[in-house]
Amino acid sequence: MGMRRQRSEQKLEERLRKLIKSEVIEKHRHVSILDSKALADIIICRNKCNGEKPAIFFLELKVKKQHRMGIGGAKGKGIQPEIVQKNPQYLGSHFRWVIRSDERKREFLFVSTRTVKKYLMGGSVDKKHNNIQHAIFDGRKKLSEKQLLAKIRAWLLNT
């Protein structure tokens, strides 16, 4: 894509976002727009089949590290903090977190944003707090890779 065309599309995006915010979202508070565009690590599409409606599903992947398990970029910016803060209804059922318990072990959690939100450092996402507490693993059954795939399959086919 040429630079002129890229700038033209960027200007269009900026203008359209501004108009949507002022003309739609301000008047219809149940509608929201996300500022970040890279939604998740894995995006899965389900096409219409056997009476099921088409749907899009999003998986965010995290690995427990010794010091931190961060969400978003520096200072609480990015799509993950935005999803946690704005809690879009569709993403409540169509967005899941796969959290690996250790870089060497194949043990996983498969959780909703609501669960992640309960384990944020400081209780919310902001400039200083954008980490998931390791306590998210406490008392939770860790899934094997096979169990994780079964959970994902059920989620994709039954949501």
Closest to 99 in 3D by CA, of 121, 128, 75, 71: 71
The number of folded domains in the chain is 2
Structural domain of 103: 36-158
Same domain assignment for residues 47 and 60? yes
Tell me the pTM. Answer: 0.79
Predicted local distance difference test score (pLDDT) of residue 145: 94
Q: Answer yes or no: do 62 and 122 share one domain.
A: yes
pLDDT along the chain (159 residues), means of 10: 69 88 84 76 87 88 79 71 84 92 86 91 66 87 94 91
pLDDT at 38: 76
Q: How many alpha carbons fall within 13 Å on the CB side of residue 93?
A: 8
- One domain, residues 76 and 56: yes
Say yes or no: 28 and 48 in one domain.
no
